[in-house]
Chain A
Amino acid sequence: MSDDKVTVMIPRELYTKVEEKIAGTSFTSVEEYLVLLLENEFPEEAEYSEEEEALIRERLRKLGYIE
């Protein structure tokens, strides 16, 4: 296993339920499904440079979206 992955234990009963849920879908593994759920729960925040942040803030202020 690569260093950037860790093992998490979940109840077997829950694992079986997920397996049943993803049967016939595009998910190829329980892991893939759970990773997606967690990614949705913790989405990547958009990153902005200081310059871009200032430009967007100014535009939103001019348009009246923020004060």
Chain B
Amino acid sequence: MERLTAPDRVEKAAEEASELTVVQVSEELRLDLENVAFGLYSPLAGPLNQGDYLTVLAKGRLACDLPWTIPILLDLTEEEASGFSVGDRLALAQDGERFAVLDVQEKYGWDRKTHCERVYRTLDPAHPGVAKTHEMRPALVGGCIEVFNPSPGKYPRYRLKPRETRFLFREKGWRTVAGFQTRNAPHIGHEYVQKTALAFVDGLFINPLIGRKKPGDFTDEVILETYEAAFRHYFLRNSATMVTLEMEMRYAGPREAIHHAIVRKNYGCSHFIVGRDHAGVGSYYGPFEAQEIFEDYPDLGVTPIFFRNFFHCNRCGGPQNDKICPHGPEDHVNYSGTKMRSLLLEGKRPDETMMRPEVVDVILRHKEPFNP
């Protein structure tokens, strides 16, 4: 369900918001709240109230028992939170620009340690999600939002709302759609996974994550341009489409895999591809935990498609996976993102069995293809 102000009410809503107490939020939180308003985080209506927050931590579900694994929180300083009461309406702003109103339902405190243990399953400050949690402010506010001034997004050309993607899928005649989350330029292994899924569904929905990522990840521009090249040269015209998702990575592994699946369901996907170590970082999660967690969510409403290890087999002469290839490790070459990145950083071309030449051309055209 959308929580956007109707176009004919925007001017009045902005005027009303100019007279409200204002609280400033970060760019990342604005994106999260806009995702609520677009319907991407359905069934959320705003930042979590305490009851939902506690059950999300304890069970990975909202208080009404619907699946929800990543807390969406509005954090403020104690001083900011003391400036208004439950029942008030606030204006939310980012860099001084008012973009939404929030009807305050609750103010409450929280415990960062419990939060990190439950969401990230570690207290290690080297984990990017844990580090981010420690930067957050002590007072939480729950309530319902309405966005009257959504940001245009970093790539307006690729930013669609769920009502638009659902319409798009219908127009294309896609009854079943597999969502593919990515923060990488595509290599042959990705293409193999995507096309294997595509053999069973009507359409492929490539959904790159735009937002804060870790150093060494491909830049957003490179991800979009490399997929454009891959579509142009290696996909049937009406079989795949790409829409950006503006949302930061939490690197919460299994929990984030469920979050990603819920978002793709809201876009209208019937299936969601989950690979090895989905949304993981370092060695905080087992390589297949992000797949195993789906056992706990039979009511998710989107069907996961799991892929285990995939690699190039020299004897088979192409991409394979460990369920179908009879040959041993001596014949297998892993699609190592790290190795391909090192080559590309030196301006060298990965082998054509690893990455399409058109994709390599795009990457090498960029002076800085990786996040600093």
Chain A residues with a Cβ under 8 A of chain B: 21-22, 25-27, 33, 36, 39-40, 43, 45-46, 48, 52-53, 56-57, 59-60, 63, 65-66
What are 22 A-B residue pairs whose CB atoms fall within 8 Å in the complex? A22-B298, A26-B61, A27-B298, A36-B298, A36-B299, A40-B303, A43-B270, A43-B301, A45-B170, A46-B166, A48-B163, A52-B163, A53-B167, A57-B167, A57-B171, A60-B164, A60-B171, A63-B158, A63-B160, A65-B168, A66-B168, A66-B172
Contact check, A56 vs B298: say whether CB atoms are below 8 A apart. no
In angstroms, Cα B171 to Cα A47, docked, is 13
**Which of B160, B171, B299 contacts A26 (CB under 8 A)?**
B299
Residues of A within 8 A of B61 (CB): 26
Identity of the chain B residue whose Cβ is nearest the Cβ of A48 in the assembled complex: B167
Contact check, A33 vs B171: say whether CB atoms are below 8 A apart. no
Residues of B within 8 A of A46 (CB): 163, 166-167, 170, 268
Tell me if A's interface is mostly helix, strand, loop or mixed: helix
Q: Give the distance to chain B from A53, nearest Cβ to Cβ, in Å.
A: 7
Contact check, A56 vs B157: say whether CB atoms are below 8 A apart. no
Contact check, A56 vs B164: say whether CB atoms are below 8 A apart. yes
In angstroms, Cα B296 to Cα A18, docked, is 15
Contact check, A56 vs B301: say whether CB atoms are below 8 A apart. no
Q: Give the distance to chain A from B333, nearest Cβ to Cβ, in Å.
A: 36
Q: Is B361 an interface residue (CB 8 A)?
A: no
Given contacts A60-B167, A63-B158, 6 further A-B contacts (CB under 8 A): A26-B65, A40-B301, A43-B270, A46-B163, A53-B167, A66-B171
Q: Is B241 an interface residue (CB 8 A)?
A: yes
In angstroms, Cα B170 to Cα A57, docked, is 11
In angstroms, Cα B241 to Cα A27, docked, is 35
Identity of the chain B residue whose Cβ is nearest the Cβ of A52 in the assembled complex: B163
Identity of the chain B residue whose Cβ is nearest the Cβ of A45 in the assembled complex: B170
